[in-house]
Amino acid sequence: MKKFDQLDQQEHLIRSETEKSKNKRKSVRTPVIIVCVCLVCALLIAGFFLLRNNNTNPAKSLEKSAENGNAVAQKALAERYESGDGVEQSYEEAAKWYMKAAENGDTRAQYSIGYYYYIGRVFDQDYDKAVEWFLKAAAQGYPAAQSNLGACYMNGTGVEQDYEIAFEWFTKAAEQGNPSAQRNLGACYYNGLGVETNLEKAAKWFTRAAEQNDEMSQFYLGICYEYGDGVTQSYETAFEWYKKSAEAGCAPAMYNLGTMYLKGNGTEKNQDIAIEWFEKAAELGEADAKAALDTLAASEEKKQSERDLVFYNIEDNDTTSPSNNSSFESLQKAANNYDEYAMYKLGVMYENGEGVAQDFTKAAEWYRKAGTIFYTKENYKKAFEAYVAAAALGSDIAMYNLGLMYKQGAGVTKDMNKAKEWYQNSADLGNEMAKKVLASFN
C-alpha cells in the first residue's frame, strides 16, 4: 500500500516540478508569443490590403488580357460591362469588347453583336448585320444564334422569308437543347410552317421546352392537352401545364387556368380561384381576362332578372320582351348587367345611329363585350359574329379574339393563315398580346 502511496507522492512531485517548469517556460515564452502574434497579424493585415488593392477592380486584370487580344477575356470583360459586374454598367463598353471578341471568332460575342444590331442597342438597328453576325455564330454551332437566325428566316427579318430554312435552324438549335428553338420548332410542326403539319411532333417539342421551364411552351402544351392536339386529350394534364405556365407569369395561361377553374375542367370547379387568376391576367393586359371579370361581376340573380326583362335575337335583330320594354334605357341597363344580347343590340344602335347619336367607337366596344361573353359561354357562333362586327369598326381586341378563334377552331373551321392575319391586324393597331402571339408563330 505504501508503495502506492510513495508512487503517488513521487508522481505528484513529478507533476509539481513539471508544472513549475511549465510555468517558468510560460514566463519566458509569453513575450515571444506576443511578438509572433503581432507579426502574424501584421502579415495578415498587409496581405489583406494587398489583395484588396489587387481586387478593387477585377476588370483591370481582364482588360490587360483583353487588350493583348485574348478573346475569352474580351468576352468576359464585355459581359461585366453589360451587367455592371464590378464595373460601371455600360452597353457602349460592352459592345466595344464584344466586337473585339467577335472579330476574334468568339461565338457568344458574335451572337451578342447580332443581338445588339437586332434590337438597336448602341448600334443603329440593322437586321442585315444582325443576320450576318447570327450566321457567324450559328455556323459554329452556337444554339442561341441558330434559334435567332431561324426566327429571322421565319419573319423575313434581314433575309428573304423562308420557312424551310427557318425550320432547319430551329432544328439544329432544338437538338442542342435550346428551349426557345424547341418551342419554335414545335410551332412549325403545329402550324405546318416549313414542314408538314405533325401535331405529335409539335407536342413532343413543346414538351421538351416545357420541361426546361419555358412558360410559353408550357402554355402551348396545355392547349395541346386541352384539345387533344398530338396527345391524348386530358383536361387534368392541360390544367397542370397551364398552372405551371401561369405561375411562371404567362398571362394567357393565367386566363386559361381561370377558365378551367370556372368550368371545372381538370380540377374542381371554383369560381373564387378562377377570379383570382383572371385578375392576375388582367393586370398583365390580358383582354379576355378583363372581359371574364366583367362577366362574373354581376350575380346570376341579376343576370337572370335582366334576361327575363328583355331578350334579343341577334340573327334578325328583333326585340322581344315580356314587358314590351325595349327602350334604350332598358337596353343599357341590361347591358350594364352583362346581358350579351343587349350589348350586341347596343352595338347595332350605335353603329347605325338608331335612337342614339352614331358612334362607331361605342358600337365596337359593345360588340366586343358581347362577343367575349358569348365566347365565355361557348356560344362561339354568336361570339364570332360579334367580334367580326367589332373588328370591322377597328377593335384591335376583337381582331385578336378572331385570331384566337381561327387558331382554336372555335365556332369556325380551324385556319392558321386566317388566325395569323387577324393577329397581324390586331398587332398593326398596337395590341401587345397579338405581337406576342405572332412571335410564337415564329
Per-residue pLDDT of the chain (442 residues; tens, 9 = 90+): 222 222 232 222 222 333 333 333 333 344 444 545 555 555 555 554 444 444 456 667 888 999 999 999 999 999 999 999 989 999 999 999 999 999 999 999 999 999 999 999 999 999 999 999 999 999 999 999 999 999 999 999 999 999 999 999 999 999 999 999 999 999 999 999 999 999 999 999 999 999 999 999 999 999 999 999 999 999 999 999 999 999 999 999 999 999 999 999 999 999 999 999 999 999 999 988 988 888 787 544 444 444 444 333 333 344 333 333 456 788 888 888 778 888 888 988 898 888 888 999 998 999 898 888 888 777 888 889 999 999 999 998 889 889 888 888 888 888 888 988 998 998 889 888 788 778 766 5
CA distance 210 to 196: 22
Closest CA to 150 of 124, 126, 123, 178: 178
Longest distance between any two alpha carbons in the chain, whole Å: 130
CA distance 123 to 144: 20
CA distance 390 to 196: 34
Phi, psi of 68 (to 5 degrees): -85, 5
CA distance 133 to 359: 51
Q: Which three cell numbers stand for residue 13?
A: 512531485
Q: Which three cell numbers stand for residue 329?
A: 334605357
Amino acid sitting at position 255:
Y
CA distance 381 to 363: 19
**Integer angstrom CA distances of residue 137 from 83, 92, 101, 112, 142:** 22, 21, 12, 9, 5
Quick one: CA torsion of 426, 287, 280, 441, rounded to 10 degrees? -30
**Chain mean position to CA 341:** 36
* Strand partners of residue 319: 312
CA distance 91 to 96: 8
The per-residue pLDDT for 298 is 52
The per-residue pLDDT for 164 is 96
The secondary structure of residue 319, as a DSSP letter, is E
Closest CA to 188 of 172, 201, 175, 173: 201
The per-residue pLDDT for 323 is 36
| Phi-psi region at 89: left, alpha or beta (left = phi > 0; alpha = psi -120 to 50) | beta
Quick one: CA torsion of 93, 95, 99, 105, rounded to 10 degrees? 110
**Chain mean position to CA 103:** 33
Instruction: Write down the pTM of the prediction.
Output: 0.59
CA distance 395 to 417: 20
Amino acid sitting at position 48:
F
Closest CA to 435 of 423, 421, 419: 423
CA distance 59 to 332: 67
Q: Provide the CB-side half-sphere exposure for 126 (13 A, CA).
A: 11
The per-residue pLDDT for 169 is 98
Helix (H) or strand (E) holding 280: helix 271-283
The per-residue pLDDT for 337 is 77
Closest CA to 371 of 277, 295, 280, 282: 295
CATH code for residues 297-441: 1.25.40.10
**Integer angstrom CA distances of residue 184 from 70, 116, 349, 371, 405:** 35, 22, 44, 31, 21
The per-residue pLDDT for 328 is 79
Phi, psi of 320 (to 5 degrees): -125, 140
**Integer angstrom CA distances of residue 42 from 39, 47, 49, 186, 383:** 5, 8, 11, 64, 81
CA distance 237 to 241: 6
